[in-house]
Amino acid sequence: MESISPPIGVKFVASSVKEPSCTIGFSGSVPPRLRNFDRICKSNRVFTETKSPAIDFSDPDWKTKYQKDFERRFDIPHLTDVFEHLVPIPSTFCLRSRTPASEDFADGYPSDEKWHGYINNNDKVLLKTIHYSSPTSAGAECIDPSCTWVEQWVHRAGPREKIYFKPEEVKAAIVTCGGLCPGLNDVIRQIVITLEIYGVKDIIGIPFGYRGFYDEGRHEMPLSRKVIQNIHLAGGSLLGVSRGGPDVSDIVNNMEERGINMLFVLGGNGTHAGANAIHNECRKRRMRVAVVGVPKTIDNDILLMDKTFGFDTAVEEAQRAINSAYIEAHSAFRGIGIVKLMGRSSGFIAMHASLASGQVDVCLIPEVPFYLHGPHGVLNHLKCLLESKGSAVVCLAEGAGQNLLEKTNATDPSGNIILGDIGVHIQLETKKYFKEIGFPADVKYIDPTYMIRACRANAADGILCAVLGQNAVHGAFAGYSGITVGTCNTHYVYLPIPEVISYPKQVDLNSRMWHRCLTSTGQPDFV
Ligand SMILES: Nc1ncnc2c1ncn2[C@@H]1O[C@H](COP(=O)(O)OP(=O)(O)O)[C@@H](O)[C@H]1O
Ligand SMILES: O=P(O)(O)OC[C@H]1O[C@](O)(COP(=O)(O)O)[C@@H](O)[C@@H]1O
Ligand SMILES: [Mg+2]
């Protein structure tokens, strides 16, 4: 059946292109549709038509069809899709006090029949909670021209009453891929703790990302509560991370050799593309394996989720850099402080950090094109700020203004385009500009990116990591595979991997949050 769905989370814009409902193979670069900032940026309103209508709104049943199609897309893969006759057993996850690590199950599995802590498989979470009365409502996301209320439900995460793995038969592996992110150790820790509560004793860490499935001499790391007890007190990843690595069939060969039947994959878009490919390969080989992702992206660029772990910490930690830039700028005669934050294709960290600080005058993100020079350029605005208030602070995301830099086609081992350093460029251009116009300014540049990324998770992220890690284990024991965990409207959910990685989530320029950021900075358009 052909999908009738428009891309989730993307507004109907006048010239929107139908998005494939499932694009695997994303590897860091921004799809052309999203690179076309102009179209999105310049329209400050939502269009209710599409040039390539995927849905026939004259069909009286369009809504039912849409909802059915949505349900199909967001159905989460289960081991019984392939192994029809698998018989589940009652969950060994109950909160009755016992000592699972030292327990064997000779006398049967522990159970707690009176406990009502399980999630029903049919429990669902509403993905979109606002009923926009009109497409012109601020931030409206509409399916049809009348902005009809259409329900979109996704699966609720958590422990199930029946499980599809016997704990003593589980060999669970955890791997952390891509760049670092605050909270990786917290998630590893919670996965191990929760596995042990189910009664799993064979838990290993794969060193240095997907490479650890391949490189000779890299030994798996046995994990237990004892090993992971305090790892969350430090940033980084106990297991190490890496970009690039072996192809999927080598990874699955290695999993077969090691007897891994539960794989927990912590990573971003690229890692999840890999996890989904591993899941598909396992299915193809009829391996009874659960592959579950935990989205790790400091940039917060995974679709559909309220936020990903590490993001909150990054925003909080960025305050120190912004405040330093402010103090430097404010204390200098005509001071300008420039802070570069992470955000390869999405400006969420810069936007939130700017809003939180209240000290930023100009926020530059990848989604918004800008000129440096000319009457409407950033530099002229900085001059106005120096004249009016004596100092200025600029906060920018690393992916902003890439069109101003010379292009290289260089990529990292994962295939992500290596960006030019926009922070250094703006610093140099700013110094040059003020020198040339004979209006001396004191420019200070701060790049705290790797200092931020190496931090340990803050309290909010610590909680998020705990719940995500626990839910990942519940999902695997429940027999799901090819899924990832997340939060939607503050509820915890399971989502099929392809739906969250078809392109990176970006700041919506029609969103209330971006408008709030602009209100706070008071910056004009720089085009
Ligand atoms: N399309 C893909 N299919 C399979 N594996 C991928 C794909 N894209 C990236 N990977 C692998 O995922 C890992 C992490 O990818 P990367 O883009 O560096 O980080 P992130 O997961 O944070 O986006 C790397 O080992 C990379 O080889
Ligand atoms: O220098 P590295 O390790 O390639 O990491 C830089 C990248 O890490 C990020 O913070 C997040 O990247 P991932 O989500 O792919 O790990 C990007 O914003 C940034 O471009
Ligand atoms: Mg990535």
If pLDDT is split at 50, 70 and 90, which confidence band does 27 have? very low
Would you say 179 is a known binding-site residue?
Answer: yes
Q: How far is CA 415 from the centre of its chain?
A: 18
Would you say 475 is a known binding-site residue?
Answer: no
Interval 407-436: pLDDT, tens: 888 999 999 999 999 999 999 999 999 999
Tell me the residues surrounding ligand 3 (ion) with CB < 5 Å: 28, 268-270
Letter for the amino acid at 421?
Answer: D
Residue from 471, 468, 447 nearest 457 by CA = 468
Task: Identify the residue whose C-alpha is closest to ligand 1 atom 17.
Answer: 270
**Predicted pLDDT at 311:** 98
- Average pLDDT in the chain: 88
Would you say 451 is a known binding-site residue?
Answer: yes
Task: Identify the residue whose C-alpha is closest to ligand 2 atom 6.
Answer: 179
The average pLDDT across 456-482 equals 98
Distance from residue 279's CA to the centre of ligand 1 (Å): 15
The average pLDDT across 85-92 equals 94
If pLDDT is split at 50, 70 and 90, which confidence band does 372 have? very high
Write the burial class of residue 102 (CB in 10 Å: 0-12 exposed, 13-18 middle, 19+ buried): exposed
Atom of ligand 1 nearest to the CA of 209: 25
More confident residue, 444 or 40: 444
| pLDDT exceeds cutoff 80 at 101 | no
Residue 239 and residue 313: Cα distance in Å, rounded? Answer: 21
Residue 244 and residue 178: Cα distance in Å, rounded? Answer: 8
Please state, for a pLDDT cut of 70, what percent of the chain lies above it: 88
Residue 137 and residue 59: Cα distance in Å, rounded? Answer: 25
Letter for the amino acid at 121?
Answer: N
If pLDDT is split at 50, 70 and 90, which confidence band does 214 have? confident
| pLDDT exceeds cutoff 60 at 18 | no
Packing angle of the helix pair 422-436, 378-389 (nearest 10 deg): 60
| pLDDT exceeds cutoff 90 at 358 | yes
**Predicted pLDDT at 138:** 86
As beta bridge partners, residue 309 has: 296
> ipTM of this complex > 0.90?
yes
If pLDDT is split at 50, 70 and 90, which confidence band does 98 have? low
* 497, 483 Cβ separation under 8 angstroms: yes
Residues 6+ apart with CB under 8 A from 510: 11, 40, 43, 44, 45, 46, 138, 139
Distance from residue 503's CA to the centre of ligand 1 (Å): 13
| pLDDT exceeds cutoff 80 at 116 | no
**Ligand 2 pocket, residue 343 CB under 6 Å:** yes
* 136, 45 Cβ separation under 8 angstroms: yes
The DSSP output letter for 272 is H
Distance from residue 179's CA to the centre of ligand 2 (Å): 5
**Predicted pLDDT at 97:** 54
* Beta-carbon-side half-sphere exposure of residue 432 (alpha carbons within 13 Å): 8
| pLDDT exceeds cutoff 60 at 343 | yes
